[in-house]
């Protein structure tokens, strides 16, 4: 694919870095469908993103602007962002395992790349809103959280946390290079709001899943499980499978990002948890059982050692986001799983093509 020219100086698009990725492409589609001008900045390095970009171009044609660039390239970012009406910053290295193998690259993408974006917006002088996709990993491994092991999952002994989840008052405790790089970026985004009066906000995400996600073993585990199941391939679980996450359908995530931008003056300078909450809290084992119902067969599942930085439990309390923006998760996890399974199955009836897309 040819490198696209810089964003048109005659328009003021909403720029989405990592906009050909899973959440970015869904957000771009929603904005474009409502008549917004959107520009995607993406280096197109991840599996499936070229397919996502082609899908956006087929749906929206020339209304979609594309800049093929890397957020580590400060000159390219400066060229792309001076006319941005707002910036959603999704471009990132997203896997804990990759960060452990190559912490320098992880830092360059997540930390330096974020500062490059912030600096480009600051130098442009238009005070464009910057909304950053952070992670629950900024709260660390939660090793001090006392848990009770039940038949199918680990849950907090504290009844209040079990009912509501982890809120934003939890102290930051960066763990693993990924947690550090995303945590640094998280704090830079908030500080640029204070130091340079930029309208910034941060969403600390739990596990987002849904259409246009080509998950791998290291990132996007819900889609990864479904892809393996649909291809009839074995699945490896690291640990006991009782670790709990609150999963959120991408349509609900997109709604949250749009709500933050729409009311940025109200929520600027703040970080919010974004996840499915206690109603969508599931263990890996629970998800596997539901996938077996969807595909109609028993899965081949093996076990391996725990991985570094894997939280036994994380469920986001999202009451602050709900109170400020009247947002709430609408899609239940079982319905969401079936939606993703239908989308994956519809991508290709031939498993060989599905294998090529997810590689």
Instruction: Report the C-alpha gap between 135 and 133 in whole angstroms.
Output: 7
Alpha helix positions (H), the chain: 22-33, 49-60, 74-80, 96-101, 103-107, 113-124, 159-164, 176-196, 221-230, 250-262, 264-267, 284-295, 319-325, 333-347, 351-358
Lookup result for tokens 């709001």: 193
Instruction: Report the C-alpha gap between 63 and 54 in whole angstroms.
Output: 13
Greatest extent of the chain over all pairs of C-alpha atoms, in Å: 60
| Closest-CA residue to 264 (of 167, 135, 130, 169) | 130
Q: End-to-end alpha-carbon separation of the chain, Å?
A: 19
250 sits in the region (left: phi over 0; alpha: psi -120 to 50; else beta) called: alpha
> What was the pLDDT predicted at 355?
42
Residue 328 exposure: Cα atoms within 13 Å on the Cβ side: 8
In the chain, count H helices and then E strands.
15, 15
Single pTM value for the model: 0.93
What six digits make up the tokens of 141? 């491994």
Residues with active-site annotation: 178
| Closest-CA residue to 237 (of 225, 227, 220) | 225
> What was the pLDDT predicted at 217?
66
> What was the pLDDT predicted at 348?
59
Low-confidence ranges of the chain (pLDDT < 50): 1-4, 349-359
Lookup result for tokens 């939890």: 170
Domains of the chain by start residue, with CATH: 14-358 (3.40.50.720)
3-class state of residue 249 by DSSP: strand
> What was the pLDDT predicted at 234?
95
């Amino acid at each position: 694919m040819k490198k696209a020219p810089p964003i048109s100086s005659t328009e003021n698009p909403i720029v989405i870095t990592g906009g050909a990725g899973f959440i970015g492409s869904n957000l771009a589609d929603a904005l474009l469908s409502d008549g917004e001008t959107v520009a995607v900045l993406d280096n197109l390095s991840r599996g499936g993103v070229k397919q996502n970009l082609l899908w956006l171009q087929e749906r929206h044609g020339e209304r979609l602007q594309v800049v093929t660039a890397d957020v580590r390239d400060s000159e390219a970012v400066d060229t792309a962002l001076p006319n941005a009406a707002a910036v959603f910053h999704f471009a990132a290295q997203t896997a804990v395992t990759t960060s452990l193998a190559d912490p320098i690259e992880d830092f360059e993408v997540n930390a330096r790349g974020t500062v490059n974006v912030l600096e480009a917006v600051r130098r442009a002088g238009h005070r464009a809103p910057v909304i950053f996709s952070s992670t629950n990993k900024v709260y660390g491994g939660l090793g001090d959280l006392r848990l009770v092991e039940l038949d199918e999952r680990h849950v907090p002994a504290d009844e209040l946390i079990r009912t509501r989840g982890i809120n934003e008052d939890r102290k930051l405790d960066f763990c693993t290079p990924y947690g550090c790089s995303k945590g640094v970026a998280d704090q830079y985004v908030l500080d640029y709001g204070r130091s340079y009066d930029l309208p910034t906000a941060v969403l600390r995400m739990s596990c987002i899943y849904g259409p246009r996600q080509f998950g791998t073993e290291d990132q996007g585990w819900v889609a990864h499980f479904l892809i393996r199941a649909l291809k009839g391939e074995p699945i490896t679980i690291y640990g006991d499978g009782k670790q709990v996450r609150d999963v959120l359908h991408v349509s609900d995530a997109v709604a949250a990002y749009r709500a933050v931008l729409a009311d940025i003056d109200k929520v600027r300078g703040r970080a919010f948890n974004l996840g499915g909450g206690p109603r969508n809290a599931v263990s890996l084992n629970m998800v596997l059982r539901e996938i077996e119902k969807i595909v109609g067969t028993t899965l081949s599942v093996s076990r391996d050692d725990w991985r570094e930085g894997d939280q036994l439990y994380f469920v986001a309390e999202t009451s602050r986001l709900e109170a400020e923006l009247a947002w709430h998760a609408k899609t239940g996890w079982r319905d969401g799983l079936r939606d993703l399974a239908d989308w994956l199955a519809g991508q290709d009836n031939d498993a060989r093509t599905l294998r090529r897309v997810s590689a």
